[in-house]
Structure 1
Amino acid sequence: MFVHPDATRFLEIVADAPPLDTLSVERNRADVDAAAEISGPTTACERVYDTTIAGVPVRVYIPVEQDAAQPAFLWIHGGGWVTGSLDLADTAVRDIATAAGAIGISIDYRLAPEHPFPAGLEDCLAVARAVLSGQSGVNVIPEQVAIAGDSAGGNLSAVVAQELRAHTPALTHQVLVYPVTDAASTDTESYSTFADGYYLTRRNMQYFIDTYAGGADREDPRMSPLRNPDLTGLPPATFILASHDPLVDEGRDYAAALLEQGIPATVIEFAGQVHPFVYLAGVIEDGAVARRLIGSQIRASFDRA
């Protein structure tokens, strides 16, 4: 199967990485955060600062400072609900904010195993509610707020969109980047095809799910949004998928489920790419392309709103 040359170079870098369940949580987090070194150049924003919204730490990106309120998007980083950080997502959020012409709010939600399900979700919901209600302390237009995230962050973004579908004002759009949509199963064809050798392995994904879920019901739609029987009333969605990813089938399946319920959904699948290429713009050019695409989709959602 064709693997993009850029992805091949990345896979060579991580070829000797041991399974995550053989290492400490602290070591896993440090190893993932080290990827910030290959996340690409740092795009300048006029103002970037750390603060809290609804008691949750966030990092705010303002590409162009102005007196009037601006559109915004929430970004929820990936890392299997166990790893990942604001720093890992930093260059991506800068690029997306610039492309969207909007304020970016990156959420530093609580991680497992110290804080298993639903702690991280509760943090993301608290921030989203505050921003949509105009109570965030950031000069945002509440009627022009989108949500986006990758991997576990895509999972949390999808669940937040489901939980807040009746909120007024509503989210304008959801961008789900190779999201986890079914934490109750690792039996898809893509899990079998890409079980090993493409960075995110089935074994490591099972470690993430086990650590996050604990004893919770993994079919709960708040953990597995694909299993929600009611997908009506959700915001339009954009899916950014990698063809060589154990999660690609459940991303496709969730997009199809949305379309069946009449929810507009656009699927862009990057050929020959691996999880988590959007964060790897320093070695994978498609990462930078995807960031611009995400930003343009978010900007378009504000225009429609």
Structure 2
Amino acid sequence: MPALHPHVLALLRQAQEAGGKPFETMTPAQAREAHAARARALQTPGDPLPEVRPLQAPGPAGPVPLRLYRGAGAPAAGLPCLLFLHGGGWVLGSLETHDWVCRRLARLLGACVVAVDYRLAPEHRFPAALEDCVAALRWLRAEAPALGIDAARLAVGGDSAGGNLAAVLALMARDGTVPPLAFQMLLYPAVDLAMTGESYERITQGLPLTAATMRWFIDHYLPAPMDRTAWQASPLRARSLAGSAPALVLTCGHDPLCSEGQLYAARLERENVRVAALHLADQFHGILTMDKAIGPVAGVLALAAETLRGVW
């Protein structure tokens, strides 16, 4: 097992002293409250931006809430845009838990970020979250001129469960099911819901996300095991990744999703998709919403933004 970063060790000690409970021991409502409280405690104040405003897209079950972030110095028209899908195991997370991340990306990009508040499980199981993200992307493409966005420079990204949804959208874009995408930003993504990766066998205790936590998430999101091998749930199992958008794939050594993320990056490279793979051996899952405690987070987001800027 690789060594942990000192900031991670300090945070784990604090959590242990505070008597924090694993999400899988809670109800979804309790876990959402705990997840939101952790985000508030571990994030610095969000970057001020010239424009942050609510939007909504028509979805299959009603309006899908969105939030638009416009970076300083961004032009009034022809603006590149990143559609951001938050993590949280398809059960947790919101516009608020990832507000800091979206603000920072918008500032670094000098562009536009639109975050999606998709429906959560177990109240809304697969494919509800994906349907809402599809609806958001289609609406964003249709409304791009009115929003001052360049429809030819749309990207998609997300962390964890959001990375899963982003990877699926990138494959759908390749197939013409949704509008074309210029880039996919996959931040410690879940790409194989069958949980067959080697890292599930070694990340079993002592961390915020373990194999048991992922099992709890997946059971809520997609309870039928036979459905977990469909590429719309597990993009690693798609027959081909060729032709999908250029990608950044971030993985962390102390993460049950590590090995599947590395396999996904390797497949993208092997199938001639331009990919930047960043592996943080001394970090754990979820660091991007913990910038107050984990010093390297700012640098990781800066690298992610610069990689996207290189495509735009």
With normalisation by structure 1, the TM-score equals: 0.94
Deviations 1:9-68 (A, max 9, x none): 221233333232321111100100112221223111101011102331011101136432
Q: 3-state DSSP class of the match of 1:238? A: strand
Q: Does 1:301 align with 2:304?
A: no
1:235 alignment partner AA: A
Q: Which amino acid aligns with 1:217?
A: D
Whether 1:28 and 2:36 are equivalent positions in the alignment is: no
Count of residues paired in the alignment: 301
Gaps (5+ residues) in structure 2?
none
Instruction: Give distance in 2, aligned partners of 1:95 and 1:135.
Output: 22
1:94 aligns with 2:103: yes
Which string of whole-angstrom CA distances, capped at 9 and with x for unpartnered residues, describes residues 61-104 of structure 1? 01136432311101100000000111110111111111111100
Name the counterpart of 1:163: 172
- Name the residue aligned to 1:70: 79
* CA distance in structure 1 between the aligned counterparts of 2:179 and 2:210, rounded to whole angstroms: 39
Of 206, 222, 232, the match for 2:215 = 206
CA shift digits 1:100-154 (9 cap, x unpaired): 1110001000000010000000000111122234458522100011111000000
- Structure 2 partner of 1:154: 163
1:49 is aligned, of 48, 53, 68, to: 53
Check if 1:282 corresponds to 2:292.
yes
Letter in 2 for 1:198: L
Contact 2:137-2:179 at 8 Å conserved across structures: no
Q: Residue 62 of structure 1 aligns to which amino acid in structure 2?
A: R
In the TM superposition, what whole-angstrom CA distance separates every residue of 1:260-287 from its partner, at most 9, and x where no partner exists?
1111111111231011011111110111
Q: Note closer, same or farther for the CA distance 1:136–1:191 as it changes in structure 2 (3 Å cut).
A: farther
TM-superposition CA deviations, 1:144-181 (whole Å, max 9, x none): 11111000000000001111214486211101000001
Q: What's the counterpart of residue 231 of structure 2?
A: 221
One-letter code of the match for 2:275? A
Question: Do 2:78 and 2:148's aligned partners in 1 also have CA atoms closer than 8 Å?
Answer: yes
CA contact (8 A) 1:121 1:156 kept: yes
CA contact (8 A) 2:173 2:179 kept: no
Q: 1:240-251 maps to which residues of 2 (within 5 A)?
A: 240-251=250-261
Paired with 2:38 and 2:207, the residues of 1 have a C-alpha distance of 16
Q: Secondary structure at the match of 2:248?
A: strand
Q: Is 1:58 paired with 2:62?
A: no
Read off the aligned partner of 1:182 and give its amino acid letter: D
Q: 1:110 to 1:136 in 2, by over 3 A?
A: farther
Name the amino acid aligned to 1:110. R
The 1-side partners of 2:258 and 2:231 are apart by 19
Q: Does 1:235 align with 2:245?
A: yes
Residue identity in the other structure for 2:8: A
Would you say the 8 A contact 2:247–2:275 is kept in 1?
Answer: yes
Matched residue type, 1:31: A
Equivalents in 1 of 2:183, 2:12: separation in Å?
32
Task: For 2:168 and 2:262, locate their aligned partners in 1 and report how far apart those are by CA, in whole Å.
Answer: 16
